Amino acid sequence: MKYIDEFYDRKICVNLAEEIAKKSLGTELTFMEVCGTHTMSIFRNGIKDLLPENISVLSGPGCPVCVTPNRTIDKAIAIARLNEVCVCSFGDMMRVPGSSSTLAQERGRGADVKVVYSATDAVGIAERNPDKKVVFLGIGFETTTPTVASSIKDSALKGLKNYFVLPAAKLIPPAIKAILNSGKTKIDGFLLPGHVSVIIGRKPYEFIAEDYGIPCAIAGFEPTDILYAILRLVEQINNGSPAVENCYRRSVKEDGNKLAKDMMNEVFEVCDSEWRGLGVIPSSGLKIEKKYRAFDALHNFKMDVEETKENPDCLCGDVLRGVASPLDCALFGGVCTPENPAGPCMVSSEGTCAAYYKYADVRR
C-alpha cells in the first residue's frame, strides 16, 4: 500500500478480519499489544469489534508514563520543591499522582514546573536561565531515550553547568520477559511496538519465539497494520513456527537505528529498574554513565523524598501486567476519571484506562 487512505480502507479491514476468523478456526487466542499507541488505535478504530469473539487483545506495559513508579514521581516532586530549580516534564506526567502530590499541584503551590515537548526544549530553558538549575524528567522507552542522551551530550559540548536529567528510562524486551516469567497471563502472541522497534530493530525480541515458543509481529499503528499483524500471528500458530515477524517494514529495519543506539550506549548504561506493577526487573533500565554524571540529578541534588505510598484501590499495576481490565477496578469511571485520575493509566494519552473511558461504552 502506498497511500494513507488504504490503511483505513474499510473493505480491506473487513477482509482481514474475515481471514483472521477463518484461519483461527474458533480457537481461543489471547494476544498482547505492548504499546500504548496500539492500545489507543485498537479502541479508536473499533478493531476489537471487527475481530472474532475467540480472539482477545490485552494491553501490556506499553506506556512509559504508566509504568513509572510512584518513587520516581516523588523524587521529581522533591526536586521541584527545592529553591532555584526548574523541573521540566512531558505534559502527561504533570497529573500522574505520586504518593501525596503531583507535579501540577506543586506548580500550583509556586514551584517552577514547566511542560516541554522534548529534552531539547529543557536544554534551551537552561541556556536562557543560567541562574536556574533545570532538571528534565527523563521518562521513556527506547523511542525517546536517544533524544535525552543527545541533550546530555549536547550540554556537555556547550559546557552547560545547570542542566540535569532525572534518569527514568526503561527497556521493553526485559519487561516482556518478566511478564512471561510470571506465568500469570495467558499470551498466545505479541503485537510488538512499532516506535520502539524503529530504534532497536527486530533482533532483541528473538528470545520470545526461541525460548518461549510464542509468535510475535512488529506492527504499525493504522487499522490494516494491526489487523494484518494479528493475521500473521494466527498463521504462525497454525504453522507451528513461532518467529519475530516484521510487519512494519516501511519504518522498522532489521537492526534498527544504529545512530540512535550508539547515542544511548554512549550516555547511558543498563541497570535494574522498578516498574509499576512489575516490580524491579533486572537490566530493564538505563542510568547515566559516569562520564556524564555531572548531568545526573540523582547525584547532584539532595532530595527530601517522602515515604512512598500506593493507592491500594488502584489496579493500574494489574492492568499493566495484563491480569486485570480497567473494568475490574472499583474506581474506574466513578472515583477515577480523566478529570480526576487516581492512577497513571487514566492520565496518560496512551493509558489503557483512558482508552476504555474514551472509546468503550463502559461508564459507571
pTM: 0.93
Residue 54 domain flag: yes
Q: Do 283 and 179 fall within a single domain? A: no
Residues 264 and 219 in one domain: no
Is residue 308 domain-resident?
no
Distances (CA, A) of 96 to 35, 177, 181, 319, 339: 19, 26, 28, 16, 12
Judge whether 333 and 364 are in contact, CB under 8 Å.
Answer: yes
Average pLDDT over residues 282-294: 97
With a cut of 70, say whether residue 364 has pLDDT above it: no
Q: What is the CATH number of the domain that holds 88?
A: 3.40.50.11740
**Any alpha helices (H) in 185-341, and if so which ranges?**
194-200, 206-212, 223-239, 258-267, 297-300, 316-321
Over range 31-51, report the average pLDDT.
94
Pair 328, 237 in one domain: no
- Supply the DSSP string of 19-85, one letter for each residue: HHHHHHTT--EEEEE--HHHHHHHHHTTHHHHS-TTEEEEE-S--HHHHS-HHHHHHHHHHHTSTTE
**The domain containing residue 161 runs over which residues?**
65-171+256-300
Residue 1 — pLDDT band, cuts 50, 70, 90? Answer: low
**Are residues 163 and 214 located together in one domain of the fold?**
no
Regarding whether 167 and 278 lie in a shared domain, the answer is yes
Q: In terms of domains, do 163 and 98 share one? A: yes
In contact, 152 and 124? CB cutoff 8 Å = no
Please state the rounded mean pLDDT for residues 221-248.
Answer: 97
Question: What is the mean pLDDT of the segment spanning 183-205?
Answer: 95
Residue 45 lies in a domain: yes
Residues 336 and 288 in one domain: no
pLDDT at residue 361, as a whole number: 63
Instruction: Please check whether residues 167 and 58 belong to one and the same domain.
Output: no
* Predicted local confidence at residue 363, as pLDDT: 42
CA distance 216 to 188: 9
> Final residue of a domain: which of 246, 268, 290?
246
Contact 205, 257 (CB under 8 A): no
Judgement on whether residues 71 and 125 belong to the same structural domain of the protein = yes
pLDDT in tens, 95-130: 999 999 999 999 999 999 999 999 999 999 999 999
Burial label, 306 (beta-carbon count in 10 A; 0-12, 13-18, 19+): middle
Q: Are 135 and 288 in contact (CB under 8 A)?
A: no
Residue 317 corresponds to which cell in the numbers above? Answer: 499495576
Claim to verify: residue 13 and residue 76 sit in the same structural domain: no
User: How many other CB atoms are there within 10 angstroms of residue 117's CB atom?
Assistant: 9
Residue 251 within any structural domain of the chain: no
Residue 153 lies in a domain: yes
- pLDDT over threshold 80, residue 336: yes
**With bands split at pLDDT 50, 70 and 90, how would you rate the model's confidence at 6?**
confident
Domain end among 213, 246, 279: 246
Residue 5 has pLDDT above 80, yes or no: no
Check whether residue 22 and residue 77 sit in a common domain.
no
Instruction: Tell me if 275 is assigned to some domain.
Output: yes
CA distance 294 to 276: 28
pLDDT over 90 at 3, yes or no: no
CATH code at position 209? 3.40.50.11750
With respect to residue 306, please indicate whether it lies within any of the assigned structural domains: no
pLDDT per residue as tens digits for the range 142-176: 999 999 999 999 999 999 999 999 999 999 999 99
| Segment 77-92, tens digit of pLDDT | 999 999 999 999 999 9
- Residue 26: the pLDDT is 86
Domain assignment present for 342: yes
How many structural domains does the chain have? 3
- The dihedrals phi and psi of 220, each to the nearest 5 degrees, come to -80, -165
C-beta separation of 268 from 289 below 8 A: yes
**Statement: residue 223 has pLDDT above 70:** yes
Same domain? 97 vs 123: yes
Within 8 A by CB and 6+ apart from 190, the residues are 31, 32, 33, 34, 176, 205, 208, 214, 215, 216, 217, 233
